[in-house]
Amino acid sequence: QTTPIADSNWPQHGRTPAEQRYSPLKQINTDTVSRLGLAWYQDFDTFRGQEGTPLVIDGVMYVTTNWSKVEAVEAETGKVLWYYDPRVPGNAAVRGCCDTVNRGAAYADGRVFVGTFDGRLLALDAKNGHLLWSVNTIPQEATLGGIRSYTIDGAPRVAKGVVMIGNGGAEFGARGFVSGFDEKTGALKWRFYTVPAPGNKPDGAASDKILHDRAYRTWSPTGAWTTSGGGGTVWDSIVYDPETDLVFLGVGNGSPWNYRVRSDGVGDNLFLASIVAIRPETGEYVWHFQETPMDQWDFTASQPMMLLDLTLNGEKRHLLAQAPKNGFFYLLDAATGEFVSATPYTFLNWAKGVDPKTGRPNFVPDSLWSLTGKVWMGIPGSLGGHNWAPMAYSPDTGYVYIPAQELPEPFLPEKNFALHKMGVNLGIDLTGLPDDPKIVNAVNSGLKGWLEAWDPVAGKVAFKVPHDTPWNGGVLATAGNLVFQGLATGGFEAYDAHTGKRLYHFDAHSGIVAPPVSYAVNGRQYIAVEVGWGGAFPLMGGAMARHANTTINHSRLLVFALDGQASLPTEIRTGQAVVPTQQTFDAAKAEKGYMLYQHFCMACHGDNAVAGGVLPDLRWSGALDNDAAFSAIVSKGALENYGMVGFSKMLTPQETENIRQFLIRRSLAAKAH
Ligand SMILES: O=C(O)c1cc(C(=O)O)c2c(n1)C(=O)C(=O)c1cc(C(=O)O)[nH]c1-2
Ligand SMILES: [Ca+2]
C-alpha cells in the first residue's frame, strides 16, 4: 500500500515511515565531501530558533520556519514559489515553554499540512500555497477557561487519509491529546487524550475506555492535576508504521512537574512519559509502554522514534526505538509494545537499570525529589540526555546517531506552589544560577554535548564525537558513508559514518539545532539545513546557553552541493548593545522581583536575566531607565506583536516594578564583573 519513495526525495518528516533519516544518495561521499560547498542560501524573516525539517518532493522544497511560516522553493535554485504566513498572534508566544519554533510540515496528495503555534492545523495547496482548510485543534473545554496552555510546534503526520497532530504546554498546565483530521476536509475523525479527566469522566473521545479502565487508577483522585491538566502532551514525535498499521505517540511529562503536588504522590500517572500505540483511522488504543513512571524530571517520551528491523539473538525483530530524555535507549516490539531492552546511552543517575522483564526503572530513592523534599542533582536534567533534535540510522553501519548531551539540573520542591496562568507551573524551586563567576564557570565546564554512534544490537556506544557544548543539531545519515550535523557553536559538519572522523566543516555564523536533509535534482545531490539558534535551552538556559553560543541568531536556510560556489555575507550581526542601566535599585524590592522573574520571564529571557542569544537580554533594556516604558511593555503589552504580552492580569503594578528593580540589580551586577 505504500508507494516507493524516490531516492531523490525527502517527502516525510523522517524521509520514510520508519523515520530513520537515512538518504540513499551517495554522490556526496567520504571521497568527494571535501568538494562540498554552499550552493545557495536564503535569509529567513525571523531571527529565532529554526527547528524545521524541509520536505523535498520532485524538485520542490517545503520549508517551515519560526512563527509557523511556510514556503515552497525550487530545491535546485532557492527561487521562492510561494510563501504562507498564518499570522500567529504575538500573544501566543507566552503559551509555550520553548520558543515559537516549528519542526516541519507533512505532505500528501498535493496538500501541505502544518500546525501553527496558536493551535491551528492548516492544509495548503502544494502548487500555490492557497489555504484549503484550517481547523482549531484545541477544543474550548480543554483550556479550562484559559488556565491550560496549548501550542503546536511539532510536525503533523499523515496516514490513511488522516492528518494527526498533538500539542505542547505541560510546563504551563495542559492536558495532552492528539487529534486526527480528515486529510481532504479537515473534519475531526477522532481525539485521543493521554491522561484521564478528573473524576474519571468520559470525553466522548477514542481514549475514553482505556483511560477509564486502566489510566485513571494510576492517578490520585485529587492533586493539582485536576486543574493543571496533568500534562502528557504529544509535542513532537508521532510515527505511523504501515507494517503494523499502528500510530505511535510519544507522550510527554507531568503537569506540574512536582509529582507529590500533582498526584498527591500516588500512582504511576499513565500515560505520562509513555509510548502509546493507536489505530490511524479511529484512534483506538492498542498498547502502551511507560518509560518513566511517576515522572518528576520532565522526562518526556516525546523524543523522536524510529522503526528498526534488527536481528537480536538470531531472531528478526521489527522494533520501535527511542532515546528519550531519561537516558535509556529503548527497543520495543512494534506490534505488541513488548519490552525488549533499555540500555543507558548517556550517563544517568536516577535509576539503577530496569527490570529485565517489564522495563520498569529501578529508582534511586533520592531521585524522587518531590517525595523526599530534598534537593536532587539529576542527570539527565529536564532537557534530557537527548531532546527533540532527531537522531538518524544508517543500515550500512548499523549505528543510530544520537545528538546526546549531559546537562545536570538541581530539583527541589517549590515551597509555595501556586498555579499561574501564563507562568511556569512546575512545583519546583526556580532559584537560578548564582552570579559568582567561579560557580558559573564550574557549571558551564560540566556541560557536555557529543554525537554518539550507538550500536542498538550490541547495546553499546560504537564511538563518540565530542562537541564543545550541549544542544547541538539533529542528524542525517547518507549512503555516502557520511553523517551530517549542525552544532550549537555554528559549525556544520560531516563525519565518516564508520569512524566519526570529521571530513567537512562550514561556519554557519549561528547555532544550528535543526536536522539536515538530503535530496537530488537533475542528478545533483544536495544537503539542506535550517540555521537558527533557539528552542528550550537558548531561551531558558541563561548563562549556560550564552556560554554555548556567543554569536546571535542569524536564521537562514543553507543548501550544499559538490562544487557549490556561494558564500555567506561576511558581516556578522553582533546583536544588542551592552548598555548597563544608570538606575539604582531597592534591595528588598529586587529580591521580591527575582522569583517573579523566574516564574514569568525566565522561560524566554533566560535564567537569572542572562539571555541565551535569541531574545532580548533585559539587563540592557532601555526600559529599565523609564518605569512608564517598562510598565507599557510588561503590563500593557506594547510589544505584543513580537511575542511579548502584557502581564497586567497576572502581575500587580507593584510586582511589575519589583521585576524592574531585580533587572536593575542584574544590570549593575553585570557591569561590576
Ligand atoms: O511538555 C511540553 O508540553 C513540552 C513542549 C515542548 C514544545 O512544545 O516545544 C517542549 C518541552 N515540553 C520540553 O520539555 C522540552 O525540553 C522542549 C524543548 C523544545 C525545543 O523546541 O527546543 N521544546 C520542548
Ligand atoms: Ca516538557
Say what the ipTM of the complex is: 0.99
Which residue's C-alpha comes closest to atom 14 of ligand 1?
298
Q: Could you tell me if the CB of 169 is within 6 A of ligand 1? A: yes
Reported as a single tens digit per residue, the pLDDT across 171-196 is 999 999 999 999 999 999 999 999 99
Tell me, what's the pLDDT at 673? 58
258-291: burial string, b at 16+ Cβ within 10 Å, e else:
bbbbbbebbbbbbbbbbbbbbbbeebebbbbbbb
The closest-lying atom of ligand 1 relative to the alpha carbon of residue 233 is 3
Distance CA 62, CA 108 (A): 12
**Interval 473-478 mean pLDDT:** 98
Amino acid at 268: D
Which residue's C-alpha comes closest to atom 4 of ligand 1?
168
- Of 208, 236, 298, 607, catalytic: 298
**pLDDT, greater one: 611 or 550:** 611
Q: What does DSSP say about strands 120-125 and 376-378: parallel, antiparallel, or unpaired?
A: unpaired
Tell me, what's the pLDDT at 576? 79
Annotated binding site for Ca(2+): 171, 253, 298
Reported as a single tens digit per residue, the pLDDT across 59-86 is 999 999 999 999 999 999 999 999 999 9
Secondary structure (H, E, C), 35-61: HEEEEEEEECCCCCCCCCECEEECCEE
When pLDDT is cut at 50, 70 and 90, the band that residue 577 belongs to is: confident
Return the ligand number nearest the Cα of 173. Answer: 1
Pocket test for ligand 1, best of 295, 388, 549 (most atoms within 8 A of CB): 388
Tell me, what's the pLDDT at 37? 98
Q: Could you tell me if the CB of 101 is within 6 A of ligand 1? A: yes
The reply to whether 607 belongs to the active site is no
How far away, in angstroms, is 428 Cα from ligand 2 center?
A: 13
How far away, in angstroms, is 503 Cα from ligand 2 center?
A: 35
Q: Could you tell me if the CB of 388 is within 6 A of ligand 1? A: yes
Reported as a single tens digit per residue, the pLDDT across 413-452 is 999 888 888 888 999 999 999 888 889 888 998 999 999 9
Which residue's C-alpha comes closest to atom 6 of ligand 1?
168
Tell me, what's the pLDDT at 1? 46
User: Over pLDDT 70: what percentage of the chain?
Assistant: 99
Distance CA 396, CA 429 (A): 47
For the chain, what is the mean pLDDT? 95
Tell me, what's the pLDDT at 672? 66
When pLDDT is cut at 50, 70 and 90, the band that residue 2 belongs to is: low
Residues 6+ apart with CB under 8 A from 58: 6, 8, 9
Distance CA 206, CA 652 (A): 42
How far away, in angstroms, is 125 Cα from ligand 2 center?
A: 33
C-alpha cell at 15: 524521509
Reported as a single tens digit per residue, the pLDDT across 490-503 is 999 999 999 999 99
How far away, in angstroms, is 415 Cα from ligand 2 center?
A: 21
